[in-house]
């Protein structure tokens, strides 16, 4: 790549939609997402289960092979359109151009094949390496992801390794053919906190060494805080806020982002600090609520929010976008919150400490 | 680390639950033994929450299960409300189990998929509750209401019709319906989303206040444990490293392992400089052949010859803070000479 091209995004996603057709209707798992990935940068995608973050990553990779998945919109990789390509055509890109590290290292490796063979399978296919060459490449890869005794570990089965070691193998496998884009889909959710730290450090250093673009998908906003350049917060298949990492934490605008952050227990607060739980649960993606999809759970929601869907708009600092009528910190939000308290809106009362969040439709159980 | 010793225990009469030198071993054939829990001691007074933290494989779940004698521990004593559970026969144990109930990690698989929620929660009542079905349902429905599940609509529904968070609420209702004195929560929120996790943690705090519960809260997430616990015990490979009042543990960790756990915690603040140069790439050693002396020494950068030879015992940092380490990160009061007299015998009790 020339130096001019270095600033060009390596992957551009525009208005991407993935709907799964089921008897009850279309599940709008990804519903109009636009983003871009830069070489050498990391984008964090955060949201609850069911917010569409995993489907987004899989759609970009072309891994939604289910017959009922309908994808529209555009994914441009190096100027080439990927949406509409068959799996056979995509296969040439997998591994060499884009690769993925999956959530569960226990199930993403074949239990009856030695890890060495799994690791170099695509090295042999894509690079045409001989068995002996592949073995030395494989050992080198295992070494690069800090697996001790790489040469011996080449010949063991997945069950002989711990979860953290298996995830290292998966990372080595994803990096084997030096892809330009790496998708990490909840790579550490199944792992212990110490191992999570090791794996995230490893991903970060590999990303810098290979100058890759990385998309780190997670439900834990703590994981992405120190390890990403930009964060996109997803809710109900849409991006509700997107900003450079420090801007997102410093000037949070969307109530969902604020709620996600506040529901995490923090060690800096004294014990028994009451958490601000989010009332209700993620919406039905077949019939999403009209207006803003977060409105039924939002303490700042006003009648307008239920009627008119907010669009992503630019906020003050560069690159900060959010979709909200009553953004956090604005006078409108303050007014809305006070009005909601006086009207007894359950989720507002919860935030004010006068009720208990329940998972049912916003209802307050007497405290 | 992970040492033994009982210096941190309070006078016997004060505690609702007192565990002394609890050891659980599992034979795995060819005369090999998994040392899942090796001589740990702790106590809980009524109304207190004790957090047990550590990585997978450190024996925290085994400890939780051994408290209710499932399975029976290999050695040691578990005293609940004055009676020693380890010496009881099956029938007396069955009666006592009503006083100690458990909440499991995976809310969906811990409910029978083929039984309606009304039945699942009423099951303990069939054995121990009033004979009258209506009286049973009344208790069940008030319990479901207390955990935030609408009793009338839930009664004839099956677990698959509920979300993970709702299922966890139902498991909590099932555990509480007999009004036990002690609740053992084994990773109750690890399978849940952060938003639902916050709801469940708040619910547990409310129920604790409402029913005067005493809790053992097992989790691998230090932030969650800090939030809910009065005291925290950090475990590593079947041993206890540090035992402390929870605010103090996080403010002044004394054990290198506690420090490692805290350094690994993802902090939702981009301004904090990440410790990406932490050299720990270590793994938990095998509990079949645990390291000699301090079990943490293979991953500890402070380890020296003493750690290889001697197992550390619990030493006092402050009134509510104890650590089992030869080279703790903060000053401890007792001289380390005292250790050598007792800890050469693995699992030996210090006096």
The structural domains of chain A, with segments of one domain joined by +, span: 5-228, 257-351
Average pLDDT over every residue of A67-83: 91
Q: Do B206 and A263 touch (CB under 8 A)?
A: no
pLDDT digits 0-9 by tens, B266-291: 888 877 766 665 555 667 788 888 89
Nearest to A264 among B220, B268, B281 (CB): B268
Measured in angstroms, the CA of A152 and the nearest CA of chain B are apart by 17
Q: Which of A217, A256, A258, A277 has the highest number of chain B CBs within 10 A, making it the mutation to test binding with B?
A: A277
Distance CA A187, CA A42 (A): 14
Please indicate whether, in this complex, the C-beta atoms of A267 and B224 are within 8 angstroms of each other.
no
Q: What is the pLDDT of residues B48-65, one digit of tens each?
A: 999 999 888 888 999 999
Contact B351, B314 (CB under 8 A): no
User: Looking at residue A66, what is its pLDDT?
Assistant: 79
pLDDT for the residue numbered B346: 45
| Contact status, residue B256 vs residue B296, Cβ threshold 8 Å | yes
- What values do phi and psi take at B101, rounded to 5? -120, 165
Is B76 within 8 Å of B86 (Cβ atoms)? yes
CA separation for the pair B229, B51 (Å, rounded)? 5
> Among residues of chain B, what percentage have pLDDT more than 90?
42
> How many CA atoms lie less than 13 Å away from B169 in the CB half-sphere?
30
| Topology at the third CATH level for domain A5-228 | Rossmann fold (3.40.50)
How many angstroms separate the CA of residue A266 from the nearest CA in chain B?
5
- Does a cis peptide bond (omega within 30 degrees of 0) precede residue B71? yes
Q: How far apart are CA A42 and CA A91, in angstroms?
A: 24
> What pLDDT was estimated at residue B334?
62
Q: In what order do the strands lie in the sheet with A238-244?
A: A98-101, A181-185, A213-218, A42-46, A230-235, A238-244, A321-322, A313-314
Residue of B198, B272, B274 lying closest to A263 (CB–CB): B198
> Which chain A residues contact residue B269 at CB under 8 A?
225-226, 249
**Alpha helices (H) along A145-282:** 150-153, 163-175, 193-210, 221-225, 245-250, 255-262
At residue B221, the pLDDT reads 86
Contacts of B261 in chain A (CB under 8 A): 193-194
* Residue A328 phi, psi dihedral angles, 5° rounding: -55, 135
Chain centroid to CA B267: how far?
Answer: 23
Mutate to test the interface with A, among B107, B145, B162, B195 (most CBs of A within 10 A): B195
Q: Nearest-CA distance from B248 to chain A in Å?
A: 10
Residues in chain A, how many? 367
Higher pLDDT, A194 or B237: B237
State the CB neighbour count (10 A cutoff) for residue A82. 22
B319 is written with which tokens? 């009134």
CATH number of B12-290: 3.40.50.300
Please check whether residue A177 is in contact with residue A96, taking contact to mean a CB–CB distance below 8 angstroms: yes
Name the pairing type of β-strands A321-322 and A238-244. antiparallel
Which of A168, A219, A271, A360 to mutate: most B Cβ within 10 Å? A271
Integer CA distances (angstroms), B232 to B14, B178, B255, in order: 18, 27, 13
Mean pLDDT of chain B: 86
Nearest to A265 among B150, B195, B226 (CB): B226
Banded pLDDT at A281 (limits 50, 70, 90): confident
Q: How much of chain A is in helix, strand and coil states, percent to nearest 5?
A: 35, 20, 45
Q: Do B283 and A260 touch (CB under 8 A)?
A: no
Cα B318 to the center of its chain, rounded Å = 22
Q: Residue B346 is encoded by which pair of tokens?
A: 């693995």
User: pTM for this one?
Assistant: 0.85
- The SS3 of residue B216 is strand
User: CB neighbours of B149 closer than 8 A, spacing ≥ 6?
Assistant: B117, B166, B169, B170, B173
- pLDDT per residue as tens, chain B (351 positions): 456 777 788 877 778 999 999 999 999 888 889 999 999 999 999 999 999 998 888 889 999 999 989 889 999 999 998 888 988 898 999 888 889 999 988 888 889 999 999 999 999 888 887 888 899 999 999 999 999 888 988 899 999 988 888 899 999 999 999 999 999 999 898 888 888 888 899 999 999 998 899 999 999 888 899 999 999 999 999 999 999 999 999 999 999 999 988 888 888 887 776 666 555 566 778 888 889 889 999 888 888 889 998 899 888 998 889 999 999 898 887 654 444 444 444 443 433
> Is the CB of residue A216 less than 8 Å from the CB of residue A224?
yes
Per-domain boundaries in chain B: 12-290
Torsion sign across C-alpha atoms A186, A187, A190, A194 = negative
Contact B261 A194 (CB under 8 A): yes
Model confidence at A365, pLDDT cuts 50, 70, 90, reads very low
How many residues are present in chain B?
Answer: 351
| CB < 8 Å to B223, chain A | 264-267
Q: Which residues pair with A232 in a beta bridge?
A: A45, A242
CA B13 – CA B45 distance, rounded (Å):
9
Q: How far apart are CA A21 and CA A24, in angstroms?
A: 8
CA B193 – CA B216 distance, rounded (Å) = 22
Predicted ipTM of the assembly: 0.81
**DSSP character string of B18-53:** EEEEEEEEEE-STT-EEEEEEEEEEEEETT-EEEEE
Mapping DSSP onto H, E and C, the string for A277-342 reads: CCCCCCCCCCCCCCCCCCHHHCCCCCHHHHHCCCCCEECCCCCCEECCCCCCCCHHHHHHHHHHHH
Q: Whose CA is closest to B292, among B312, B277, B273, B274?
A: B312
| Sign of the C-alpha dihedral computed for residues B213, B214, B217 and B223 taken in this order | positive
């Amino acid at each position: 790549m020339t130096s001019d091209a270095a600033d060009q995004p390596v992957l551009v996603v525009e208005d991407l939609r993935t709907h799964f057709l089921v008897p009850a209707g279309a599940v709008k798992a990804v519903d109009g997402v636009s983003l871009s990935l830069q070489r050498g940068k990391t984008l964090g995608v955060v949201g609850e289960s069911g917010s569409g973050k995993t489907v987004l990553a899989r759609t970009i990779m072309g891994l939604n092979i289910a017959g009922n998945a309908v994808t529209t919109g555009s994914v441009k990789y190096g100027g080439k359109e990927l949406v509409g390509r068959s799996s056979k055509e995509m296969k040439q890109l997998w591994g060499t151009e884009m690769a993925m590290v999956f959530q569960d290292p226990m199930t993403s490796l074949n239990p009856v094949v030695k890890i060495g063979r799994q690791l170099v399978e695509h090295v042999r296919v894509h690079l045409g390496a001989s068995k002996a060459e592949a073995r030395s490449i494989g050992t080198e890869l295992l070494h690069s992801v800090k697996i001790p005794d790489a040469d011996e570990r080449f010949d063991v089965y997945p069950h002989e390794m711990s979860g953290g070691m298996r995830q290292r193998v998966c990372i080595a496998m994803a990096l084997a053919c030096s892809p330009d884009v790496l998708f990490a889909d909840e790579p550490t959710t199944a792992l212990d906190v110490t191992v999570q730290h090791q794996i995230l450090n490893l991903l970060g250093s590999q990303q810098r060494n290979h100058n890759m673009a990385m998309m780190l998908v997670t439900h834990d906003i703590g994981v992405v805080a120190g390890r990403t350049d930009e964060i996109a917060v997803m809710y109900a298949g849409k991006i509700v806020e997107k900003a450079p990492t420090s801007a997102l934490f410093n000037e949070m605008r969307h109530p969902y982002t604020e709620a996600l952050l506040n529901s995490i227990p923090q060690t800096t607060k004294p014990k028994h600090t009451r958490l601000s739980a989010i009332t209700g649960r993620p919406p039905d993606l077949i019939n999403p609520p009209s207006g803003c999809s977060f409105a039924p759970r939002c303490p700042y929601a006003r009648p307008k929010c239920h009627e008119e869907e907010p669009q992503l708009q630019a906020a003050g600092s560069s690159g900060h976008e959010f979709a909200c009528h009553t953004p956090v910190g604005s006078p409108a939000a303050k007014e809305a919150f006070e009005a909601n308290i006086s009207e007894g809106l359950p989720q507002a009362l919860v935030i004010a400490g006068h009720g208990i969040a329940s998972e049912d439709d916003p209802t307050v159980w007497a405290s | 680390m992970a040492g033994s010793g009982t210096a941190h225990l309070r006078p016997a009469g004060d505690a609702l639950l007192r565990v002394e030198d609890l050891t659980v071993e599992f034979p795995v054939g060819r005369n090999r033994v998994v040392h899942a829990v090796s001589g740990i001691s702790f106590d809980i007074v009524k109304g207190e929450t004790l957090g047990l933290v550590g990585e997978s494989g450190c024996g925290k779940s085994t400890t939780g299960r051994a408290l209710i004698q499932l399975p029976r521990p290999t050695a040691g004593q578990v005293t609940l409300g004055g009676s020693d559970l380890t010496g009881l026969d099956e029938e007396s144990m069955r009666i006592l189990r009503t006083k100690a109930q458990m909440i499991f990690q995976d809310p969906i698989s811990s409910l029978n998929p083929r039984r309606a929620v009304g039945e699942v929660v009423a099951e303990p009542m069939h054995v121990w509750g009033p004979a009258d079905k209506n009286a049973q349902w009344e208790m069940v429905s008030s319990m479901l209401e207390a955990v935030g599940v609408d009793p009338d609509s839930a009664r004839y529904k099956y677990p698959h019709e509920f979300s993970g968070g709702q299922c966890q609420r139902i498991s909590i209702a099932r555990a509480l319906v007999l009004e036990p004195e002690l609740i053992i929560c084994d990773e109750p929120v690890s399978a849940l989303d952060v938003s639902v996790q916050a709801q469940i943690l708040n619910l547990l705090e409310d129920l604790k206040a409402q029913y005067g519960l005493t809790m053992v809260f097992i989790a691998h997430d230090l932030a969650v444990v800090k939030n809910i616990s009065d005291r925290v015990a950090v475990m590593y490979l079947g041993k206890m490293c540090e035992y402390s009042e929870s605010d103090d543990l996080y403010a002044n960790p004394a054990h290198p392992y506690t420090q490692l756990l805290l350094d690994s915690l993802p902090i939702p603040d981009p301004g904090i400089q990440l410790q990406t140069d932490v050299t720990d790439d270590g793994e938990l050693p095998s509990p079949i052949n645990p390291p000699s002396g301090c079990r943490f020494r293979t991953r500890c950068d402070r380890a020296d010859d003493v750690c290889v030879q001697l197992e550390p015992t619990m030493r006092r940092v402050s009134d509510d803070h104890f650590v089992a380490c030869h080279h703790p990160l903060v000053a401890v009061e007792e001289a380390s000479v005292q250790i050598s007299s007792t800890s050469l015998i693995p699992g030996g009790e210090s006096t």
